[in-house]
Chain A
Amino acid sequence: MCLAIPALIEELTTPGNAIVNLGGVRKEISLALISDAAVGDYVIVHVGYALQKLDPEEAQRTLEMFAEMGQIDELRSELGVQ
């Protein structure tokens, strides 16, 4: 029930709904729970409602965090130790 994937808003429909693309599947959802959603935004969809918009910059920061070296590696390289 809680398993959901981010969906791309492709079209705004009335009243307060949107057509989203969920990995190729187009579906109409409600935007009643969020403000200022626009075409091109990614939203988290849950039981037919957008719960929150995804922040692309924060997503990029998180991806960079995954790639960080271990703290010990960093220390080693800073100190020039192999």
Chain B
Amino acid sequence: MTGFIIRRLGEAIVVVLGVTIITFVLLHLLPGSLARDILGNRASPQAIAAFNKENGLNTPVWNQYWLFLDKLLHGNLGYSFQYNRSVDSLLASELPRDLVLGGLSLIFSLAIAIPIGVAQAVRRNGALDYAGTGVSFVLYSMPQYAIALLLIQFLAISFHVFPAEAPQSASAIGMLEHPSGLVLPVAALTLVTYALFSRYMRSSAIDTLAQDYIRTARAKGLPERLVLTRHLLRNSLIAVVTLVGLSIPTILTGTLIIEQVFNYPGAGLEYFNAALRNDYEVMLGITVLVGVVTVLGNLLADIGYAILDPRIRY
């Protein structure tokens, strides 16, 4: 077990390093130069040389990568020269609001996917199963923003139930104080995540139902309700660990799109706006962060699975 965790951790570190290399290369592929971008077209060669020296841009590429990595290791994700603000401070104000959006959606989608998945597995090939599969199929085949658009059309425009714009509070708590504005963005991201979860949850529950211990539980006369809650549900929950770990890229990409549609103030919207104003360091800082979180999610899912399911031996 310890060996597995160490090996898995080593792999994760290699992958994170790989992501930083890709980001670094992208930063270097950019046309023009940082000095010109910041000092302007009329900057003197001396000023440019001084700027390059100050920022280590006159050193060999590998050294620049090392500086870049060193900054990242100290938690410095870059600097937005357009906002004259560090990417860290920018994200520090965005991430709590992202946690509200992503966290609530994750909780709701699990709360829907687990019981429906189990019900579908128990009543396999019944009406409920077909309906559930159909819904998740359509959701899965829709571009993420289309789900958001339909919600806006029906719940904000046709029937004025909820506003189409997210609350614009500065803090996460402020967002929670305007629940009506949160409903549509959270619902949209919940559906996007549910589309990913539902089929997996169903097949995991079907697999569990075929296990010997379910047969034993039924054979010894345990009421079906207890078979489902004590044996089926509990063991299906192991799959949830994997689900949550693997859903992180979907949630983060979903966040980007949903935040853009609902003007939800978060890192995704920040990324979108940074793209519009060519603020590359912000974009790459967020990309590195998303990459690291993705790797971390996979790692925790693997380790969590190994701990929860003692049958897994590496």
Mutual binders A and B: no
